[in-house]
Chain A
Amino acid sequence: MELFLVEHRVFLPIFFGKLDFSISDFSLSVVFLPMILFLVMFFAMRKAQYHPKSLQNFVELIYEKFYGIFYGYLHEAGKKYIPFLFSLMLFIFVLNLGNLIPGVFPTTSQPTLTFSLGIVVFVLMTIIGFVSHGLKFYHHFIPSGIPGVLKPILFVLEVFSYCIRPVSLALRLAINMLAGHVMLHVIASFSKDLTPYSAISIAISGVLSIFEIGVAALQAYVFAVLSCIYIADILKGHE
């Protein structure tokens, strides 16, 4: 399975037993790209005012836009999860966008990172389920209004579809970004001989890069909205 191995340049190997804490271009990319996001947010909200000025205005505009979208799914009961979903979305967006810069390690096209995010969402979903419903959480896996014979079969199916959710979230993000990078690579490699015709492939790869910015935003939005729908589904219980 060499497709799922991370081929990164290690600058400073740090190992605790078998755990790998090495400083590589992978970890630098994961740390420093969200740092930009953190700095923007920090300087925007450092002197928060009642009448917001330019940067604070911008940040609040984005937050309120997505607050409205998430609130539409979660309602009053799940209002406290909106900041988590918003920061998850911005984290993925910044990484997706930063990975389009040539030379930056493409972190979100590695299943390692996206599966970690998927597991975070999965654990959160399960904790919310047990906290809000207690041991009656298993009702979530049995649809109401079905004959008793079908219940065990449907229970197994529902548990399976519950467990497959983080996998589909993670694979969707990773494969979308991987497909984008592969497409850009293929189009750009047409121009490596530098004939006069290579201007066409350079122009196409420029257009595709702009398209990839849209895909980066879209995938971050989809990841957050799907997590939001899953959480809302669990909060609501199964009718």
Chain B
Amino acid sequence: MEVQVAKMIGAALAVLPLFGVGLAIGQIFSTLISAVARNPSVKNDVFPMAILGFALTEACALFALLIAFLILFL
């Protein structure tokens, strides 16, 4: 197998964590929606936490993307 092909397969494998991150982001927002639906007055307290959790989870996906970039371009 050529090195370039192996690098591309490796980069594709490196972004597999997107599976878990997608599940996690869906979980965060479904929990946010159900929390606000149960008690709408709590929205202003819960929303920044949800955004923070979303950003932290998204960062995981982007770390995977970083590894993919490192494999491809280094």
Contacts and interface: CB of A to CB of B under 8 A. Distances in A.
A236 interface: no
Interface string A34-48: 000000000000000
B51 A218 contact: yes
A3 B62 contact: no
B19 interface: no
B55 A218 contact: yes
B70 A175 contact: no
A238 B48 CA distance: 25
A171 B56 contact: no
A106 B70 CA distance: 19
Contacts of B74: 1-3
B62 A222 contact: no
B63 A171 contact: yes
A176 B70 CA distance: 15
A163 interface: no
Interface of A: 1-3, 69, 168, 171-172, 175-176, 178-179, 218-219, 221-222, 225-226
